Chains A and B, each alone.
Chain A
């Protein structure tokens, strides 16, 4: 299974290299966007010393890890973002007649190399913030230790959300408009401390759209922002449960796939 995944990934890398100009232009554009993005955030954050007890670098760390998870998922599973076309054009049919899981075939269908721009950006922000936090006397040992864990949890949440969006495409035929409400917006919200938001949003971000588990809970414990150890330990449980739910929802969707008339 893993070797098959590797082979498929190599194939899609080779395929995207077929369009060298497109690759060059889109990564340059992504790079430019990344710089603009970065400046806007820096300006915003520099205006406040701290927000609800979180200082600039702490928010930066949260921002960076959530962005990194998002960028990595969109780098690996870029086809899930415009899954609609598989449904509308009936392309999904051909994924279902292979002896490999359709989900693996789908996510290996295309690798979006231009997403490496945001991956680089987010990593840069994380390093930058960790450096300044250590300058402020924060012990960054535990932070470094749990960083892969936070990123992995974040990726699982992103992936599960995308998978749910795909399944909704299965059921109603078109789901890309919903992406704004259920993916892009919540993910942007998760880049800042959830404690900033009103109660109903908080409830939402810990239940139906569980972006609160991406970084906020872990960091509010590690950075001592009022998070408890129990909340911290609950994170992987919640994330894995959500992932499992999204997978079974996806399988339910496949059973109700209608295909096209062709």
Chain B
């Protein structure tokens, strides 16, 4: 369904000079900085697969998705989506793919949701009967009825995302590209969207490629995970495989009343002690949280506890086997700045 072969994308940036009149000198300098957003990426996704495409900010996820939809032209390599060339056959491909960018809507900002749907129906030349059938079905799954006559700018983020999803599916595409579909949503909205995507994948055998920072998205929707960092694929396989090799770390942070007296912990737990604060990284499948807390009780009196579920950044760090503790990664932030 989706084939990418040694795809590359690089941007040229004028190099910023430092020192006095840096910006001005930068304007006239011929020195260019080459940013490789994506380097030699290859993968194949079959029909009906749901693939999570994850990586830290600036890793090249969005760039890849944009190349697959035909928005960006790759610097090198070949891409085929549904057997089509995304750049040369962009309009033809548009009929076969549905695209949702979590960060921005594709609906008409000032028009009621239904008007946007009608316009898309015309644009994609969807039959009346099909259109009504799909609208009913998506209303059933996403509960669009309550806000279908509201202008898009007045929708909540969760409603807007539901409307955007339905809009991307009106022409019944075979492939769905989702760029951070759950970003900024609350737990209820996230659950809604996830079960909807699950249903699409299972019932209608739609191929889904999604990027996310939320491991729960991956766990509930995707059967396969591609991990990308610095523009290269560093892991590609099923979620079970990924978990078997690195585990999905959960983070537990415990604040003690006094300096803790460390005891031995079960194997497979990374632990860092900073004064009264102890940070643990562990795999929930191996050690229960309660069990861990009972153990920690022996260390001293606990003042406060905070928990954080595994996120993509943690995962990447695990893949690299860098000491798995939160430390500001300046390099990645820089990359993000550049790509913005």
The reply to whether B108 and A15 contact each other, CB–CB distance below 8 Å, is yes
The reply to whether B94 and A98 contact each other, CB–CB distance below 8 Å, is yes
B15 CB–A CB distance under 8 Å: no
Contact residues, A221-257 vs B (CB, 8 A)? 255-257
The residue of chain A having its C-beta at the shortest distance from the C-beta of B12 within the complex is A258
Considering the chains assembled together, what is the distance between the CA atoms of A49 and B62 in angstroms?
64
The reply to whether B101 and A8 contact each other, CB–CB distance below 8 Å, is no
Inside 8 A of B123's CB, which chain A residues have their CB? 4, 98-100
B66 CB–A CB distance under 8 Å: yes
A96 CB–B CB distance under 8 Å: yes
Kindly identify which residue among A4, A12, A100 contacts B91, using a CB–CB cutoff of 8 Å.
A100
Q: Which of A15, A259, A261 lies at the interface centre, i.e. has the most chain B CB atoms within 10 A of its CB?
A: A261
For the residues of B in contact with A, the DSSP-based class is: mixed
Inside 8 A of B336's CB, which chain A residues have their CB? 261
Chain A 83-95 interface 0/1 with B at a Cβ cutoff of 8 Å (1 = within) = 0000001110110
B238 CB–A CB distance under 8 Å: no
Inside 8 A of A90's CB, which chain B residues have their CB? 104
The reply to whether A14 and B115 contact each other, CB–CB distance below 8 Å, is yes
Chain A 1-38 interface 0/1 with B at a Cβ cutoff of 8 Å (1 = within) = 00110011001101110110000000000000000000
Considering the chains assembled together, what is the distance between the CA atoms of A139 and B21 in angstroms?
63
The residue of chain B having its C-beta at the shortest distance from the C-beta of A97 within the complex is B99
Kindly identify which residue among B99, B104, B339 contacts A261, using a CB–CB cutoff of 8 Å.
B339
The residue of chain B having its C-beta at the shortest distance from the C-beta of A258 within the complex is B11
For the residues of A in contact with B, the DSSP-based class is: loop
A262 CB–B CB distance under 8 Å: yes
The reply to whether A96 and B340 contact each other, CB–CB distance below 8 Å, is no
A55 CB–B CB distance under 8 Å: no
Considering the chains assembled together, what is the distance between the CA atoms of A19 and B108 in angstroms?
14
A260 CB–B CB distance under 8 Å: yes
The reply to whether B111 and A94 contact each other, CB–CB distance below 8 Å, is no
Chain B 218-252 interface 0/1 with A at a Cβ cutoff of 8 Å (1 = within) = 00000000000000000000000000000000000
B199 CB–A CB distance under 8 Å: no
B182 CB → nearest A CB, Å: 16
Considering the chains assembled together, what is the distance between the CA atoms of A89 and B338 in angstroms?
15
Kindly identify which residue among B62, B119, B151 contacts A7, using a CB–CB cutoff of 8 Å.
B119
Inside 8 A of A89's CB, which chain B residues have their CB? 104
B74 CB → nearest A CB, Å: 11
The reply to whether B111 and A14 contact each other, CB–CB distance below 8 Å, is yes
The reply to whether A96 and B62 contact each other, CB–CB distance below 8 Å, is no
The reply to whether A261 and B58 contact each other, CB–CB distance below 8 Å, is yes
Considering the chains assembled together, what is the distance between the CA atoms of A101 and B90 in angstroms?
10
The reply to whether B111 and A15 contact each other, CB–CB distance below 8 Å, is yes
